[in-house]
């Protein structure tokens, strides 16, 4: 009997479970677009879902399948479909499962592009309400008879609000709603949404899972908790071919990935797979750096406010301690009125001015002037986004170098 293994050990040995050629320790990068069959019956069986296999790589190939397998293990789910980006995963999942006239309740703190794509869906017949998801009562109040899905993130970006994850999970279970949780900001090392009864877990693989800013990717994982058999939005043809627990994820693969076409390239899948091997190590270090920086910034006279779940005065600090292994690598802080935010950012030498997050390197971006620019000042004020806010995605640099970089930048402008 094999012993139950830890998060990283499991990942490091995952490719070998699939016995790659010559005993390779990595799943090779399969660039073939299509596969040949000696007996045509084999090809037919793959098409009819009677046998596992590959036919045309828009809907999967061995390299992306190996990555999907790792994500399924990390998320303790039953199956995963990978996509070219996180946005492709979100777009395809909603597209594949939600019918015209159905209602979705989504967090009002969703990642900007997620909010934007949902808004576009309202123009083609979906009904969507955005509510403050830090309290399940707001979700409850927004639900209607035609509600089919609740969509939240774990920790919001940039202001780090944490959704009422457990209570929303119980609510969705009670009402038979698809509970979709975007786990990008926490990653499966810090939090597994299956533990709060999520039905589907979305990850942007571009961020912490890939972790090195060298590949775009996305994934959706089915936790196995939702009763797809009872869901009216499943195609009849699938009901005849597929086991009930796999109906949802199969419909996502067919309608979302095969028909939508947002396929993850095998080279990117390989980069993400290798990156994922150090997810736990990177996050342990990055979250430690984030905590140290948050405490330093919180005491600084030029800083008005720090947004980080690891600080005791964060509104969901207790929830973060209860649900998450670590408080995350993302934080924001607002400089006091009158402090020149661009001058400050330009003085930073180790920290890079850049828009990504989840990279090994620490990246900083002024929020109001970039990612929230299109909203306008009025909407930003409503959302509690100060004009002097800086978002930091904290990386794995040596801690002293990061702290010293902030010290010298503050010294230079004061
Ligand atoms: C970045 C991000 C996405 C989108 O992922 P891409 O891979 O950039 O398309 C979705 N959700 C969250 C929370 C993100 O941070």
In CATH, the number for domain 279-413 is 3.90.1150.10
**Nearest atom, ligand 1, residue 185 CA:** 13
Give residue 1's pLDDT: 45
Nearest alpha carbon, ligand 1 atom 8: 86
Please report where in the chains the tokens 């270090």 appear, as a residue: 285
Give residue 314's pLDDT: 98
Inform me whether the pLDDT recorded for 25 exceeds 60.
yes
CATH 3.40.50.300 fits 7-276, yes or no: no
Q: 332 CB contacts (<8 Å, ≥6 apart)? A: 158, 159, 160, 306, 307, 308, 367, 389, 390, 391, 392
Inform me whether the pLDDT recorded for 55 exceeds 80.
yes
Beta bridge partners of residue 27, listed in sequence order = none
Cα–Cα distances in angstroms (integers) from residue 162 to residues 134, 265, 353, in the given order? 6, 32, 26
> Taking all residues of the chain, what is their mean pLDDT, rounded to a whole number?
96
pTM for this prediction: 0.97
CB atoms within 10 A of CB 385: 21
Q: How far is the CA of 17 from the centre of ligand 1 (A)?
A: 30
Domains 7-276 and 279-413 share a fold: no
Give residue 18's pLDDT: 85
Segments making up each domain of the chain, as ranges: 7-276, 279-413
Work out the average pLDDT over 260-265: 98
Q: 187 CB less than 6 Å from ligand 1?
A: no
Nearest alpha carbon, ligand 1 atom 5: 86
Q: 178 CB contacts (<8 Å, ≥6 apart)? A: 97, 148, 149, 150, 172, 199, 200, 226, 231, 248
pLDDT digits (tens, 9 = 90+) for 140-171: 999 999 999 999 999 999 999 999 999 999 99
Of the candidates 248, 208, 252, the one whose C-alpha atom is nearest the C-alpha of residue 90 is 252
Q: How far is the CA of 87 from the centre of ligand 1 (A)?
A: 6
The pLDDT confidence band at residue 355, using thresholds 50, 70 and 90, is: very high
Nearest alpha carbon, ligand 1 atom 4: 86
The pLDDT confidence band at residue 3, using thresholds 50, 70 and 90, is: low
pLDDT digits (tens, 9 = 90+) for 69-98: 999 999 999 999 999 999 999 999 999 999
Cα–Cα distances in angstroms (integers) from residue 365 to residues 7, 158, 338, 359, 371, in the given order? 32, 10, 18, 13, 8
Q: How far is the CA of 295 from the centre of ligand 1 (A)?
A: 27
pLDDT digits (tens, 9 = 90+) for 202-244: 999 999 999 999 999 999 999 999 999 999 999 999 999 899 9
């Amino acid at each position: 009997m094999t012993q139950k293994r830890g998060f990283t050990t499991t990942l490091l040995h995952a490719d070998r479970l699939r016995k790659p050629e010559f005993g390779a320790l990595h799943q090779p990068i399969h660039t073939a677009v299509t596969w040949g069959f000696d007996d045509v019956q084999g090809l037919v069986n793959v098409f009819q879902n009677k046998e596992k296999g590959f036919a045309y790589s828009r809907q999967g190939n061995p390299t992306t399948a190996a990555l999907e397998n790792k994500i399924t293990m990390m998320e303790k789910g039953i199956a995963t479909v990978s996509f070219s980006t996180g946005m492709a995963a979100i777009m395809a999942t909603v597209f594949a499962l939600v019918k015209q006239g159905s209602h979705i309740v989504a967090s009002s703190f969703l990642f900007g592009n997620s909010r934007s794509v949902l808004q576009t869906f309202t123009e083609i017949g979906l009904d969507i309400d955005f509510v403050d998801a830090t309290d399940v009562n707001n979700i409850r109040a927004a639900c209607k008879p035609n509600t089919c899905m609740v969509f939240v993130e774990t920790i919001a970006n940039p202001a780090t609000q944490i959704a009422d994850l457990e209570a929303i999970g119980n609510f969705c279970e009670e009402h038979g709603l698809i509970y979709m949780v975007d786990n990008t900001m926490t990653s499966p090392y810090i939090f597994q949404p299956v533990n709060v009864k999520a039905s589907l877990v979305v990850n942007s693989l571009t961020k912490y899972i890939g972790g090195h800013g060298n590949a775009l990717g996305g994934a959706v994982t089915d936790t196995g908790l939702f009763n797809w058999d009872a869901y009216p939005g499943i195609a009849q043809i699938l009901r005849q071919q597929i086991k009930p627990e796999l109906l949802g994820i199969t419909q996502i693969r067919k309608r979302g990935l095969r028909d939508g076409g947002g396929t993850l390239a095998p080279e990117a899948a390989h980069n993400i797979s290798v990156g994922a091997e150090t997810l736990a190590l990177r996050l342990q270090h990055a979250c430690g750096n984030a905590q140290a920086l948050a405490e330093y910034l919180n005491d600084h006279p030029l800083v008005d406010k720090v947004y980080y779940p690891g600080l005791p005065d964060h509104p969901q600090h207790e929830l973060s301690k209860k649900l998450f292994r670590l408080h995350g690598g993302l934080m924001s802080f607002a400089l006091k009125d009158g402090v020149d935010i661009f001058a400050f950012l330009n003085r930073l030498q180790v920290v890079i001015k850049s828009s990504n997050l989840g990279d090994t390197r620490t990246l900083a971006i002024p929020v109001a002037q970039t990612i929230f620019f299109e909203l306008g000042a009025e909407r930003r004020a409503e959302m509690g986004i100060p004009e002097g806010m800086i978002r930091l995605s904290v990386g794995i640099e040596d801690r002293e170098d990061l702290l010293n970089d902030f010290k010298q930048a503050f010294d230079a402008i004061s």
